[in-house]
């Protein structure tokens, strides 16, 4: 069996993913409450809002207020997502966010049109423009993302070679501006991945670009999230996006059911039980997951918050 990594890093995206996807209005104060609670779980990277058109994503209309309202914890980088210049300017204007560039291409043209209202050529042009703007302002651009890397609800299957090609394109775009990307996120935006396709796509990218760090962004819509993360661990992947309680989903991805990201505390549970360090406090994350359910007002997909952690159970058994 392949050796598992000793330690992984988790980027928490629950607030951004969740608040963009939930249908009912959530009071700004409660969004802030969740973020501030997450700030004390050991996480050092929390994506809290997106700066997008409030007519298209009403749940993010209060993005600036959310950012202004949090109580930043030392050592935590709070980030936002943007898809165009206007969003970037809004993020910078908050003055409170960790700003870093992210190049992005989509393996699905249909998804790109729905999510960003751009053709592939427009998206490539936008990446060049984005790098110029960001680097002029001294913002680092070190990361890229392949959206819909494992399949698309509108365009169907994605061959691994297409993901390799898009990765190469982004590396080339960056290189034209004298930049070497350090990491590439492979996003299973629409939950098409299985452990086998994780192996194949990750393997293809690793083979071609052995120095590039790969990050997995997984969704659990079809129940494969944790198994896919395990396949990622076996491939040596040490960085994962995740969402507390399994919050989230892209509003333009055509998801059915619970569209959320792979669940942070379930991923932490698996890792800790397998001896892989996450640096996170599982019990505190479980409390956050329960808070998230209270805030959204309906059950969320996470399992460990319902089934209970084993560490707590072991402590109880020892004490008995």
Q: What is the set of active-site residues?
A: 250
Identify the residue among 32, 148, 173, 229 touching a copy of itself (CB under 8 A).
229
Stretch that binds a copy of itself, among 86-94, 132-140, 285-293, 306-314 (CB under 8 A): 306-314
Contact status, residue 60 vs residue 20, Cβ threshold 8 Å: yes
User: Residue 51 contacts by C-beta under 8 Å, 6 or more apart in sequence?
Assistant: 60, 63, 80, 81, 82, 86, 87, 88, 90, 91
Closer residue to a copy of itself in complex, CB, 63/216: 216
**Of the candidates 9, 29, 10, which has an alpha carbon nearest to the alpha carbon of residue 19?**
29
Cα gap 266→285, rounded to integer Å: 10
Tell me the sheet residues that pair with 45.
77
The minimum distance between CB 124 and a copy of itself, in angstroms, equals 25
Stretch that binds a copy of itself, among 81-89, 167-175, 210-218, 273-281 (CB under 8 A): 273-281
Is residue 188 close enough to count as binding a copy of itself by CB under 8 A?
no
Total site size for a copy of itself, rule CB under 8 A: 52
Identify the residue among 21, 88, 192, 240 touching a copy of itself (CB under 8 A).
192
Tell me the sheet residues that pair with 157.
none
User: Residue 158 contacts by C-beta under 8 Å, 6 or more apart in sequence?
Assistant: 107, 108, 148, 149, 150, 151, 152, 192, 201
Closer residue to a copy of itself in complex, CB, 96/208: 208
Closer residue to a copy of itself in complex, CB, 122/273: 273
Closer residue to a copy of itself in complex, CB, 60/259: 259
Stretch that binds a copy of itself, among 84-92, 95-103, 122-130, 297-305 (CB under 8 A): 297-305
Residue at token pair 């365009």: 155
Helices 264-273 & 310-319 angle (0-180, nearest 10): 60
* Backbone phi and psi for residue 137, each to the nearest 5 degrees, phi listed first: -95, 10
Is residue 222 close enough to count as binding a copy of itself by CB under 8 A?
yes
Is residue 1 close enough to count as binding a copy of itself by CB under 8 A?
yes
Residues 230-249 that bind a copy of itself (CB under 8 A): 230-231, 234
In this structure, the chain runs to a length of: 320
Identify the residue among 18, 160, 248, 302 touching a copy of itself (CB under 8 A).
302
Residue 142, classified by CB atoms within 10 Å of its CB into exposed (0-12), middle (13-18) or buried (19+), is middle
The Cβ-side half-sphere exposure at 58, using a 13 Å CA radius, reads 6
Is residue 17 close enough to count as binding a copy of itself by CB under 8 A?
no
Identify the residue among 22, 188, 220, 239 touching a copy of itself (CB under 8 A).
220
Binding residues for a copy of itself (CB under 8 A): 1-2, 4, 151, 153-157, 191-192, 194-197, 199, 220-224, 226-227, 229-231, 234, 255-259, 263, 266, 269-270, 273-275, 299, 301-308, 310, 313-314, 317
């Amino acid at each position: 069996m392949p050796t598992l990594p000793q330690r992984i890093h988790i980027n928490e995206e629950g607030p951004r993913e969740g608040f963009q996807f939930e249908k009912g209005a959530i009071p700004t104060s409660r969004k802030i409450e969740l973020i501030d609670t997450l700030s004390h779980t050991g996480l050092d990277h929390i994506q809290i809002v997106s700066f997008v058109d409030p007519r298209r994503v009403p749940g993010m209309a209060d993005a600036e207020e959310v950012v202004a309202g949090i109580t930043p914890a030392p050592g935590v980088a709070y980030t936002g997502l943007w898809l165009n210049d206007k969003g970037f300017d809004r993020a910078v204007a908050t003055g409170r966010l960790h700003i870093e560039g992210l190049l992005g291409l989509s393996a699905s043209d249909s998804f790109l049109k729905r999510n960003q209202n751009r053709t592939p050529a427009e998206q490539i042009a936008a990446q060049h423009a984005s790098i110029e703007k960001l680097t002029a302002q001294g913002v680092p651009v070190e990361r890229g993302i392949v959206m819909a890397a494992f399949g698309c609800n509108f365009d169907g299957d994605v061959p691994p070679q297409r993901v390799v090609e898009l990765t190469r394109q982004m590396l080339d775009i960056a290189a034209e501006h004298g930049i070497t990307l350090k990491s590439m996120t492979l996003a299973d935006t629409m939950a098409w991945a299985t452990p086998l396709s994780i192996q194949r796509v990750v393997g293809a990218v690793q083979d071609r670009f052995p120095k590039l760090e790969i990050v997995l962004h997984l969704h659990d819509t079809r129940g494969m999230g944790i198994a896919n993360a395990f396949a990622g661990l076996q491939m040596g992947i040490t960085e994962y996006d995740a969402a507390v309680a399994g919050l989230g989903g892209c509003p333009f991805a055509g998801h059915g059911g619970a569209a959320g990201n792979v669940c942070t505390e379930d991923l932490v549970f698996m890792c800790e039980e397998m001896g892989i360090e996450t640096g996170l406090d599982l019990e505190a994350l479980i409390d956050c997951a329960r808070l998230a359910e209270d805030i959204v007002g309906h059950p969320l997909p996470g399992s460990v918050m319902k089934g209970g952690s084993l560490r707590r159970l072991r402590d109880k058994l020892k004490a008995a």
